[in-house]
Structure 1
Amino acid sequence: MTPFDEASEAFMAWLSKSGAEISRKIQLQDLRNIQAGRGVVAVQNIEEDELLFRIPRPAILSVENSILSSEIPKSTFEHLGPWLSLILVMLYEYQNQTASNWAPYFNVLPTKFNTLMFWEADELEQLQASAVRNKIGKEEADAMFKNELVPVIKEFAEIFYSGDVHAQKRAEAMVEPHNLELMHKMGSLIMAYAFDVEPVNVQKDVDEEGYASEDEDEALPKGMVPLADMLNADADKNNARLFYESEYLSMKAVKPIMAGEEIFNDYGPLPRSDLLRRYGYITDNYAQYDVVEIPFDHITYAASGDSIPFYDEKIEYLDEHGLIETGYDISAGNPFTIQESISPELIAVIETLLLEEAEFERLKRKGKLPKPDQLSARGAMILHGFIQTQARQYSTSLDQDLSDIASVPLTGDIASKERRYAMAKLVRIGEKKILRNAEQALINMAQTKERSTGASKRPAEDDNYGAGKKQRAQ
């Protein structure tokens, strides 16, 4: 038996001893031959709604379950927040090695990462103008570790390194590069594997599609759920879902699964750029969720060269309505339509800025905004200009990329430069396709509206405009 399989077997034995219920119809298997690490596979046919496994809450690696939570004041964890608190606990459990209850679990977690946090500068450059580069936040994370996490470790060094006469010295060394990298690895494990673990009898407010607000997700405590995080994800093949119960977290089949099939979770509607940022890989199945972000700076820059009446007042009014964001999404669509693919917030911003003085004052008195489904011909052409500006930020054109498209290698080192270059190219190709589709759709709309005899009608109003961005509830 290989060390890889031995670690898997020890992990499953530990999980069973921890009180987990695991169906005999599934197995944890080695899927490295398809660049998938470990994965869960059905070894017998499974029916819809059938229990795959059930993990007791005490087996979850969380702040609540770690002995550190009883040694350090609750106020300290509250100050750190869900992310840093879990990183602190994971560092504590990890450095305790075999003394930690979760040692067999750490032995099956990745130690090498392919997420954007660990890419070299030349590799990140292959993403060109993708907005995902601004979401990596490595420097910000370093500062947060040094200013927030390390001081806590220093303050409680005798607890954190219990029994070590060099505890304070080890705590001081946490600012060294290799220890900061360890913190990044723990953070990357959380980003890739952690679940939002809602307390017993507390439910997130989700809509009919199963999405919770971003603020609610950020406020929930996070936890590493053993085995649940071993499921790979696929937007099209999702066949399992995690359910929260009072004493357990249960993974159940959401459709029949045949023997030999892999069991997949679902990350939700993530664009491939975020799939790469969070999990270190991409797949064509998530191309349907690709987005391009139009920075708000493009709008302010364009407006500075145009005579927009009451510009400052309009920006202030839009901000009061929660519509001023750092960027606005244009998403993939098949077929691509302005109504489905262009951020309604972006349309509302553009149409508000274009309002004549009297019309703006009338809407302002009513506390209303232009309806986001009423993009004018002028608004369409201005938005077209923003999209062209964004397209010019990429150092190569779509046609150039398509003429020499590279496939992602299915074998070899997952962190190879060849693999990273290929994934970056596919991300930027997806974004450039969206920009091209948007350009053509806006030109067609502007031409149609200019020919329309109803172009002089007063813009429609929207009483309750503004749908916040949402994330899938776990």
Structure 2
Amino acid sequence: MDPFDVASCTFLQWLRSTGAEVSGKIELKDLRNIEAGRGLVATQDIHEDELLFRVPRSSLLTVANSILSSEIPKATLDNLGPWLSLILVMLYEYTNGASSTWAPYFAILPSEFNTLMFWSADELAELQASAVLQKIGKGSANESFEKELLPVIREFAGIFFSGDARAKEKAEEMGSEQGLALMHKMGSLIMAYAFDVEPADAKKEIDEEGYASEDEDEALPKGMVPMADMLNADADRNNARLFYEESSLSMKALKPIQAGEEIFNDYGPLPRSDLLRRYGYITDNYAQYDVVEIPFDLISELATAQKVFSVDRIAYLDEQGIIDTGYDITTSSPFHLEESLSPELVVLIETLVLPSDEFERLQRKGKLPKPEKMSQKGADLLLQLVILRAQQYPTTLDEDMSTDVDVPMGGNETLKERRFAMAKAIRIGEKKILAEAEQALQQLIQSNSSDNSTKKRQAEDEGAKPGKKQRAR
């Protein structure tokens, strides 16, 4: 048997030994031929709401379930926060090798990653001006590892490397390039596979889709859920979802699944740039969520050049929660400015172009311009902004579209060629949004100009009628 399949079988045996239930109608399948690693496939027809598998909470790889949590003070782990504390625990379990409870699970997790964190400089350059480059965070991650994680490993070296005579030396070695790379590996596993694990006695509000709000999600402990992370994701073919129960987590079918069909989870409305950053691949099914970000710095630069930048107005907008590092323009089909432009972006632009007396009036009342009412001046400034943003990309949309734009999912292409193709698809998606926004703004400006001209002619005609009284001046 292929080692890949052996690892899958060993993992399933281990999972069942922990008390997990796994339906006999599913199997872990080798999908490397389509660059999808392992995937979960139905071997028989599955009914809606049918249980696919149930994993006991005790089987999850979490901070609370690791023996390390009973050896290191709770305050220390709490200070690290959900991400770093789980990285610490995963480092501990990983370095314990076969002694770790989760050794068969680690054996099926990837050892190499295609996420942006591991791309070379020339590969990242293919993303051009995409804002996703600012979200990789490798430098900030290294800083967190060195300032927060390494001191804990050094302080508790005797526990972390229990029974090893070189415990202190090994703790120091974790600060090496190799050690930091291992921390990045654990962090990447968490980013790609971990779930926000709602406690059994949760008091947080969960919506009808089973999700907490973003603020609540940040406070949730994170955990690796064996088997649940074997599902690939698809925005259109999502047919399963994880349900949180008192003593377990259960994956159930959302709809009937035919024998031979792959079972898919869903990441939610992620743009392809974030899909690539977090999971290391893209798919056209997520193009419907693509966004292009307009940096605040670019807005400031243009507003200053147009002599409409105001420190006082920016300060007021900041008080109102409008100022951010960037603003999204999302895709829509067909493209509509009202759907695609961030309301905060419109409010920001409209506030900058307001006449002084109008701004002062709104400020006194603690109000803001309405985002659905875009002025001619606001549309003009937004159009210039969109054009400037498009110019930040070294190549044009037409130039990118003149060559093959398909992303190879297998075959003889090298890893670098696939990464170049994915980067190109990301920047094309963003440039398409900018092109559509530019066209829509031009049409709006032209329409407003035509309307104003018509109103002006009508007013002049009315004023020229015989016997019409003229307004006193």
The aligned runs of 1:205-224 (5 Å cut-off) are 205-206=205-206, 212-224=212-224
Task: Give the corresponding residue for 1:13.
Answer: 13
Kept in 2: contact 1:39–1:231 (CA 8 A): yes
> Helix, strand or coil: the match of 2:257?
coil
TM-score (norm 1): 0.93
Cα distance in 1 between the residues matched to 2:259 and 2:324:
47
Q: Which residue of 2 aligns with 1:465?
A: none
Match status 1:225 vs 2:198: no
Contact 2:210 2:243 in 1 (8 A): no
Deviation at 1:448, TM superposition (A): 1.4
**Aligned partners of 1:353 and 1:36: how far apart in 2?**
48
> Which residue identity is paired with 1:337?
H
Whole-angstrom CA distance in 2 between matches of 1:429 and 1:195:
31
Unaligned ranges ≥5, structure 2? 456-473
Q: Which residue of 2 aligns with 1:202?
A: 202
Letter in structure 1 aligned against 2:190: I
1:326 alignment partner in structure 2: 325
Deviation per residue, 1:38-89 (Å, 9 max, x gap): 0000111111111111110000000010000000011111111000000000
Distance 1:443 1:243 in 2: 47
AA aligned opposite 1:421: F
Q: Residue 349 of structure 2 aligns with which residue?
A: 350
Shift of residue 201, structure 1, vs aligned partner = 2.6
Give runs of ≥4 in structure 1 deviating > 3 Å.
Answer: 203-213, 412-415, 453-456
From the superposition, tell whether residues 210 and 373 of structure 1 become closer, same or farther in structure 2 (CA, over 3 Å): farther
**Contact 1:292-1:431 at 8 Å conserved across structures:** yes
* CA contact 1:377–1:447 (8 Å) conserved in 2: no
How is 1:161-172 mapped onto 2 (pairs within 5 angstroms)? 161-172=161-172
| Contact 1:405/1:425 (<8 A) preserved | no
- Cα distance, 1:229–1:414 mapped onto 2, change above 3 Å: farther
Between the aligned partners of 2:211 and 2:368, the Cα distance in structure 1 is 26
Aligned to 2:292: 292
CA RMSD of aligned residues (A): 1.6
* Inter-partner Cα distance in structure 2 for 1:432 and 1:238: 28
* C-alpha displacement of 1:203: 5.0
Q: Equivalences for 1:251-270 in 2 at 5 Å?
A: 251-270=251-270
> What is the aligned partner in structure 2 of residue 439 from structure 1?
438
**Map 1:284-433 → 2, pairs under 5 A:** 284-308=284-308, 311-412=310-411, 416-433=415-432
Does residue 135 of structure 2 align to residue 135 of structure 1?
A: yes
- Structure number with greater Rg is 2
Q: Which residue of 2 aligns with 1:59?
A: 59
* Corresponding residue number in structure 2 for 1:470: none
Match of 1:452 in 2: 451
Structure 2: how far apart are the matches of 1:455 and 1:31? 63
What CA distance in whole angstroms lies between the structure 2 residues aligned with 1:455 and 1:428?
A: 40
Residue in structure 1 matched with residue 278 of structure 2 by the alignment: 278
Separation (CA, whole Å) in 1 of partners of 2:22 and 2:453: 64
Task: For 1:249, give the aligned amino acid.
Answer: L
Judge conservation of contact 2:194–2:224 (CA < 8 Å) in 1.
yes
CA distance in 2, matches of 1:215, 1:454: 49
Deviations 1:248-279 (A, max 9, x none): 11111111111100000000011111110000
Higher relative CO (CA 8 A, sep ≥ 6), structure 1 or 2?
Answer: 1
Q: Against the structure 1 CA distance between its residues 324 and 455, is the aligned structure 2 distance closer, same or farther, given a 3 Å change threshold?
A: farther
What do residues 269-315 of structure 1 show as CA deviations (whole Å, max 9, x unaligned)? 11111110000000000001110000001111112223338x12211
Q: Which amino acid aligns with 1:93?
A: E
Q: Secondary structure at the match of 1:241?
A: strand
Q: Deviations for 1:354-402, whole angstroms, at most 9, x for unmatched residues? A: 1112211221122111111111121111111111111111111000000
Note closer, same or farther for the CA distance 1:172–1:244 as it changes in structure 2 (3 Å cut).
same
2:469 maps to what in 1?
none
Within 2, Cα distance between the matches of 1:425 and 1:158?
48
Paired-residue identity, %? 65
Take 1:280 and 1:144, find their aligned partners in 2: how far apart are those partners? 23
- Cα distance in 1 for partners of 2:191, 2:111 equals 14
Paired residues of 2:25 and 2:44 also in contact (CA < 8 A):
yes
C-alpha distance in structure 1 between counterparts of 2:440 and 2:126, whole Å: 28
Judged with a 3 Å threshold, the aligned counterparts in structure 2 of structure 1 residues 121 and 319 are, in CA distance, closer, same or farther, namely: same
Asked if the contact 2:57–2:247 (Cα under 8 Å) also holds between the matched residues in 1, the reply is yes
TM-superposed deviation, 1:208: 5.9
